[in-house]
Structure 1
Amino acid sequence: MKTIKSEDQTEGLKCHICNQTIKHIYSLERHIKVVHEGHRPFVCHCSKAFATREQFTRHTNSKHSLAKPYICEMGCNKAFASYSARSYHHKILHEKLKYRCPWLGCEKEYSSSFHLSKHLKKPHDLLLQVINTIQFLD
């Protein structure tokens, strides 16, 4: 494997494939293996593969662990292996939906502006379009 060393030692090393600057030779070697060669030596029994032991451990703990100490406190009592999974569940299912479609007659609500904007790109029912046009003309 050929690496190109930068002339200025403070800049580090450059990947010869994508020109990303990386500080250490071992980090550059890992970058090439993982990013450009798809090296994923840590394989789970569910067939997902990971580049690092940390990623593999995080996956097995969150997806395959029997221990689920994080209980939803909103009354549904669903259990989660990680705090972040419980937080995501809470945001999606229990937070008040703040983003409502402005079309008269459309009752859709979303927890993020991103999801509302995706909804607004879809054509609404012809009846809703007629109602909104009449409302606009009044």
Structure 2
Amino acid sequence: MPELDSSNISLATASKLTKRNSKINNADFSKFVKIGDKRYKCLICHAEATFKWSIIRHLIRHDKQKNCLECPICFQKNFIYPKELENHIKVEHMGIKPVCEECGMQFKSTFTLKRHIRSIHKKGGKDIICDECGKHYQRQDSFLDHQRKHHQGVTLPCVSCNKGFANASNKRQHEAICGKTLGVVCEICSKVFKSRKICNRHIKDVHTQLEPQLHMCNECAATFKYRKSLLRHGRMKGHNIDNTVE
């Protein structure tokens, strides 16, 4: 068989090449035994496998010359299934390295990729969903690594006042208010007012009635849950606490 030029092979051609000699004879499945609930043993070499399909696949490999497919480029002959040969051509002769869709890592072969997925990304349990971007993760450490890389410390600025937000939803809610008018925002209900004086009057008229337990400084309208906090505020700011509203 003439040697092929791997530089001119397309993915479609690679797929067609694997159809040659793709018929595999049945292996002698009597040459393995079940030795436990989830263990199978080869009677030829005593190798063990967890799954039945794994031991069957192993037995087929004992009959290489009859059952395996041959690469038409390098004439390597140890491929059981057409998909294996196709992946071999892609990786070895076309330079297409398999990539993990979960973390983006590249691997030398599909075997190492599958082993990586089994050991890293297939640990069971419910998917962990990132609240920021909606990505799914099966491992807590992968999720936390994603959070550290893509969301922690990320500041999304308001287009009107440049105030930073770590959460896109909070940023949108803020911009809905801030985009209308730049003014003083009530820290209790987030309403926006044209001046601090109007905002203070709003706090006295509305929030002191709704929440009479708050202690308010009459000079700056700052509110406190405990009177001792108000007294400490007065000492620090030099305000007259005797005239405060409670």
- Per the TM superposition, whether the score is higher than 0.5 is no
TM-score tier, shorter chain, comes to: 0.3 to 0.5
- The alignment's TM-score, normalised by the length of structure 2, stands at 0.22
Higher-Rg member (1/2): 2
- The alignment's TM-score, normalised by the length of structure 1, stands at 0.35
